[in-house]
Amino acid sequence: MSAVHDLGARLLRTVDPERAHELSLAALAVGLGPHGATDPPILATRLAGLSLTNPVGLAAGFDKDARAPAALLAAGFGFVECGTVTPRPQPGNPRPRLFRLVEDAAVINRMGFNNGGLDAFAGRLAHGHRGGPVGANVGANKDTVDRAADYVAGLRRLWPLADYFTLNVSSPNTPGLRDLQQGGALTDLLGAVAEARKDLAAAPGGQKPVFLKIAPDLTEAQAGAIVEAALAFGLTGLIVSNTTTARPESLRSAARGEMGGLSGRPLLEPSTRLLGAVRAASGARLVLIGVGGIASGADAYAKIRAGASVVQLYTALALQGPGLVERIKSDLAARLRADGFASVEDAVGAA
């Protein structure tokens, strides 16, 4: 069945990329998605206390409105992150805003947090069957005055419904958002989140893991400062990384000059390098999720060896089709066995 779905993905690549994405999500929402194989025991692991059958997750951005998390878990992902969701619905940036760079195995997007808002998101999470951990990636509305309050609103509304949370402060497509990664803005945000978490820990669901998603364009010094802030305010960990505003000279596709965040193969090396730097700065004190450019078992394994407990992907899935998930898991399991590891956890940070 994976071959059939991969053929469908190739056909979808002949239409506008955002329309292809909408069609894919609609098919998943009505149960037309693939079904993954049973995961080998060597891939079973944990993410901040959450049990996973495998460490390969779906990154935020694909299912912004929590329309199909159960179908995506059934397709073979070990966990799924939905969002980014903002308190109020917003349309995002004008179209076209999503561009395939086929020659570079990459994508540029400037979506701008287009989503239906917290209430619709919460309604779907409340009534949907899962089958595995589902995270909520929360953000701020473009026109909001108090951005920290928007993140807190997301946590409060979704706390009983999601298994973990991600604070997205690193999208390049909302003006000024990345400023929240530094200085007083970061301190104010994490302070507000820490206060909210104190209250929410006593609410239904108890304590939940909370991650901060950072940009790949940070210097090691900036990343080190974020590590210290994350530790000071009790965050669970960091997701390394979001899309990049850099444009490597190696890019060949006609759309390489489009504004927005670049993802896919060109992001693999810089995001993995930053992941290693964050691991060196944090040791085992923070849980790290590795994302950026993963298109093979070798890529996933490199992230894990650099310090990621689990990984996430999105762009390669859009370019190669859903059969990619099973290929990555099979190759990753083989690499773990070949290097003598008994589990994913044994390989974390081995590099």
Catalytic residue numbers, as ranges? 171
Helices (H), the chain: 2-12, 17-29, 69-74, 118-127, 147-158, 183-200, 220-232, 265-282, 297-306, 315-320, 323-338, 344-347
DSSP state, residue 182 = S
| pLDDT tens readout for residues 231-280 | 999 999 999 999 999 999 999 999 999 999 999 999 999 999 999 999 99
| pLDDT tens readout for residues 172-206 | 999 999 999 999 999 999 999 999 999 999 888 89
What are the strands, taking DSSP E only, across 36-93?
45-47, 50-52, 56-58, 79-85
- The domain 2-347: what is its CATH number? 3.20.20.70
pTM for this entry? 0.96
Residue 203: what pLDDT?
83
Domain ranges across the chain: 2-347
Q: Is the pLDDT of residue 78 over 60?
A: yes
> Residue 166: which H helix or E strand, with range?
strand 164-168
| pLDDT tens readout for residues 82-133 | 999 999 999 999 999 999 999 999 999 999 999 999 999 999 999 877 899 9
| pLDDT tens readout for residues 300-348 | 999 999 999 999 999 999 999 999 999 999 999 999 999 999 999 999 9
Most confident range (mean pLDDT) of 5-9, 114-118, 205-209 is 114-118
Q: Give the residues across from 42 on adjacent strands.
A: none
Tokens standing for residue 232 = 């000071």
DSSP state, residue 293 = S
Residue 107: what pLDDT?
98
Q: Is the pLDDT of residue 1 over 50?
A: no
